[in-house]
Chains A and B, each alone.
Chain A
Amino acid sequence: MGDAPLFALEEVSVARGGAAVLDGLSLVLDEGSTCVAGPSGAGKSTLLRLLNRLREPDAGRVLYRDVDVRERDVLALRREVSLIPQLPALLEGTVAENVAYGARLAGRTADVVESLVLAGLDAAYAERDAGRLSVGEQQRVMLARALALEPRVLLLDEPTSALDERARTAVEDTLLDLREQAGVSLVLVTHDLDQARRLADRVLWLEAGRLRPVADRAGA
């Protein structure tokens, strides 16, 4: 069991509107930090959603720690493998209500302040209206909200696409700390190969629904 990969995809295909998004994709993702890079429309976001079963493959199967995700309790899976979407999508209410939301659904009480600090925000944010934050701040609240679930894996869809350079560096530092100190595995999606190399132990290049060697990419 200890040698089981974090995720394994076996001949996974996904189509949308008759067009293949992922085309017979097989890959193994280990504990640690993996980055899936590739151009827009390559199927990166779809791949990420397969990992916590927000999306079903049309063919093939997805294993999490050697068990088909369809055989797991889907709600428990999503609390353990938490996805943060590309754009902030917070609920109406305060930052604290947002951060506590997922944990409350799981019957737990979240340590809101600790989650905020882990995500690079200070405790003063807790009572602020989530709708009045900047996009960068909202993105960090999304991260805090996911961290409050104490996940074992974080799935991040373009986690810094909405941030300026200073905020991007801060989020990258936070993610590296989470990996090193909290032992949280990361699967990131980005179109930025430099960021992929900064954050990940392993970089995969996805293009037109298939994996390509990173070195094959022009300019890589």
Chain B
Amino acid sequence: MTPTIDLSLGEVGAALALVAVALVVSRWQRADLEADIGVAVLRSFVQLTAVGFVIQAIFDADRLVLAAVLVAGMVVFGAFTARRRAAQVPGALGLLLIALGGAAAATLGLAVGLGVIGPEPRYVVPLGGMVVGNAMSAAAVALNRLGDEMASSEARIEATLALGATTAQAVRPALRRSLRSGMIPLIDSTKTTGLVFFPGTMVGMLLAGASPADAVRLQLVIMYLLLGGVSLSAVFAVTLAYRRFFTPAHQLRERCE
């Protein structure tokens, strides 16, 4: 039996010493981040504790439908969060719900279908959370870039439409750049994993006493799932979003000339 970490609340509290270091640095350098650090510490404690109880309840009930409801809740919260980064995209909330929901459903469905994970809450809940979190970041970055591209490339896009290009043809270079923006951060971190940093799941498993081989295998599964989820999320988001900038007659919507 490998030893596992059994932390008391007191030991968690002891880790706050490192938060004190952050506060001192902020005060010393006049970064004016003390309040933000305080809010971050408090929110992380409350949110993780609350979600811990929720996950425990779902694990105890051992019902897949409850896990699905929790993942759906994450999708909704993620879409609201990402919407702030996609302010230039009209009606971003609806398409973010579709992008995040679609990415989570397809990724988890495929993982279960291929037998990579079992259809049980103890797999679906944590992996669902990671997929939705990463999908949210990718969709937000991709949509943010798409909004910038539409603003900066408006003249070029209209000149292309004027040659008889369809909306999809005219916007293709901007879509390509937006997709790359959404996907590159995870691809880069996947490339450097193990060299520049150890990913969270692997660290967690090692700390919990698992063998390095097991930790690595699970981490690889998760990274591959995340790559799929992020790709789907970014591609769903931008392919749905670009249409909002055009009319069905291949015209740019209201613009400045």
Contact = CB atoms under 8 A, between A and B. Distances in A.
Contact of B249 (A16, A56, A101, A105): A56
B164 A89 contact: no
Interface stretch (A3-11, A76-84, A111-119, A211-219): A76-84
Interface stretch (A27-35, A141-149, A163-171): A141-149
| Interface range, A side | 20 to 34
Contacts of B193: none
Interface in B150-177: 155-156, 158-166, 169, 173
Given A54-B251, A85-B155, A102 B163 contact: yes
Interface stretch (A45-53, A176-184, A192-200, A201-209): A45-53
Given A53-B251, A74-B249, A92-B173, A142 B159 contact: yes
Nearest to B248: A74
B252 to A, nearest CB: 8
Interface residues of B, number: 20
B162 A55 contact: no
Contacts of A92: 173
Interface in A119-134: none
A60 to B, nearest CB: 16
Interface of A: 16, 45-46, 49, 52-56, 70, 74-76, 78-79, 82-85, 87, 89-92, 101-102, 105-106, 142, 145-146, 149
Interface of B: 155-156, 158-166, 169, 173, 247, 249-252, 254, 257
Given A53-B251, A55-B251, 11 more contacts: A52-B162, A54-B252, A74-B250, A75-B166, A89-B155, A89-B160, A90-B159, A91-B173, A105-B169, A145-B163, A149-B164
